[in-house]
Structure 1
Amino acid sequence: MENLEEEREREKKRNNIIMFNVPESRKTEISEITYEDRERCEEIFQGKLGVKDVKIQRIFRIGRITTGKVRPVIMEMNEVGIKWELVKRSKKLKNDDDQVTQKIIIAPDLTKREREENDRLREESRHKRQNGGQWIIRKGKVVRMHEVAESRSDKSV
């Protein structure tokens, strides 16, 4: 039963991304806020990341409006490929001239179980790095860095 629920949740979030630190609108009408969020995000996708075929199906902020905090923005994209292209290119934002843009993070929208698993993997890799060696997360496992390089060279042979 739990696995079925998890699969439904994954399917629901399949095309979703979540953006953190996108400045909040000062407008008061929900439709104006949504329009401004959409415009700002499309500008980032097309102008800063160079992804032209972006079509946002749905967009909304999560959480309550709190002074001094910026709520995350969740977007449903038109295609799963566009979602992953945005996530992959999001590293470019760190090198942007604008300090506000540098703080923006784009990530896939994960289920609670996926977030917990990612936390566990990060903790495991942190622990292994403290004990020596270079460790990274690949395909849901913590592996030594040289093992990744070896598996790549095996494929090219």
Structure 2
Amino acid sequence: MMASQVASHVASQVVNNKTCAQCEISFKGKSPKCFNCSICNFWFCLECSHVSNKVYDVLKSEPNVKNLPFNCDGCTRVLPKITELAKALHLQQLKIESCEKKYEDLKNTLQSVVEEQVEKAITEYREREERKLNIIIHNVPEPRAESTDKKGDDEISLKEILLTTKCVGLKNFDFVRLGRPSDGRDRLIKVTLGSVSDKHRVLGGTRYLRAKIGQVYAHRWSKIFITPDQTKEERIKNMNLKRELEKRKLEEKNHDLIIFRWEIVERRPDSLVNSTMATPGISEPGRPFRL
């Protein structure tokens, strides 16, 4: 028998006219001797509680043990299983809480990633819009150091190059050298044209820069390359496509592969297509292309 919760005089009024949950003996009188199970809350007589009158009297007289729990035989037998079930439920609760936390973390992470990607896409779009009228011209010789009008010298060279590409009548364009001057390296020239159609005309005419008469280039601008003004993401994509193109050319032994509109395709035999539909300055800089 374990420590007991003894029915006091006040409790006796509660159990009056009730019976033992096990033997169904009636609790009558002012001071029924019985115990209340702290688990099932049923009342049990002394005999069914396995407690003698002497022990009951001692327990009742000790105020320190009055409120200690008493468990009936039935609850005592199932208590381990109840405890085990309670532990299992507790573990399940912990797992559920852990899953909920992971879900919240994942939701927050996903939301952050989506917001970042959206912001990145918006930034990329803005950059492309800002650059959509620009072209980059490579390998234009720097004006001589003693020149007093280097901007004017660059303008003369630029006009000659544009005329060589068969682009006549271009208006409202501006240009600037990119970066600081450095010995032995010609800076790029960024040209801002008046319209997207003007840009396509220039890019489509780059093939004329490498026109030949016999085995000799017809123009002194044969080393000039013209490409679109690309964003960082576009340059990275171009670089990866360039590597993939060279790899496939070696593996497939096919030198007719080109990059067209961000894809690697086989060059069509039509000469016009060959000369005007390559992709923006990736593996073969300066080769004409369309956007």
- TM-score w.r.t. length of structure 2: 0.45
Q: Which has the higher helix share?
A: 1
Q: Does 1:36 find its partner at 2:153?
A: yes
Q: Does 1:55 find its partner at 2:171?
A: yes
Letter aligned with residue 37 of structure 1: D
User: Does the 8 Å CA contact 2:136/2:191 hold for their aligned counterparts?
Assistant: yes
Residues 63-90 of structure 1, C-alpha deviation per residue, up to 9 Å, x if partnerless?
Answer: 2111111001001001111111111111
User: Does the 8 Å CA contact 1:9/1:111 hold for their aligned counterparts?
Assistant: yes
Alignment match of 2:197 (pick from 68, 81, 84): 81
RCO (CA 8 Å, sep 6+): is it higher in 1 or 2? Answer: 1
1:13-24 alignment, distance < 5 Å: 13-24=131-142
Alignment match of 2:260 (pick from 130, 138, 144): 138
Deviation at 1:94, TM superposition (A): 1.6
What SS class does the counterpart of residue 243 from structure 2 fall into? helix
Q: 1:43 to 1:138 in 2, by over 3 A?
A: closer
What SS class does the counterpart of residue 205 from structure 2 fall into? helix
- 1:5: which partner in 2? 123
Alignment match of 1:72 (pick from 188, 206, 209): 188
Cα RMSD of the aligned pairs, angstroms, is 2.4
> Hey, what's the Cα distance between the residues in 2 that align with 1:56 and 1:27?
28
> Hey, what's the Cα distance between the residues in 2 that align with 1:27 and 1:126?
39
Residues 34-60 of structure 1, C-alpha deviation per residue, up to 9 Å, x if partnerless?
Answer: 2221222112212x2221121253210
How much identity, in percent, do the aligned residues show?
A: 28
Report how many residues are paired.
145
Q: 1:28 to 1:56 in 2, by over 3 A?
A: farther
User: Does the 8 Å CA contact 2:210/2:219 hold for their aligned counterparts?
Assistant: no
Alignment match of 2:143 (pick from 8, 25, 41): 25
Alignment match of 1:97 (pick from 215, 218, 226): 218
Q: Does 1:122 find its partner at 2:267?
A: no
> Hey, what's the Cα distance between the residues in 1 that align with 2:157 and 2:187?
14
- 1:153: which partner in 2? none
User: Does the 8 Å CA contact 1:22/1:104 hold for their aligned counterparts?
Assistant: yes
Deviation at 1:116, TM superposition (A): 0.8
Deviation at 1:27, TM superposition (A): 5.8
Deviation at 1:33, TM superposition (A): 2.1
Residues 73-116 of structure 1, C-alpha deviation per residue, up to 9 Å, x if partnerless?
Answer: 001001111111111111211234344x1111111111111111
> Hey, what's the Cα distance between the residues in 1 that align with 2:224 and 2:188?
10
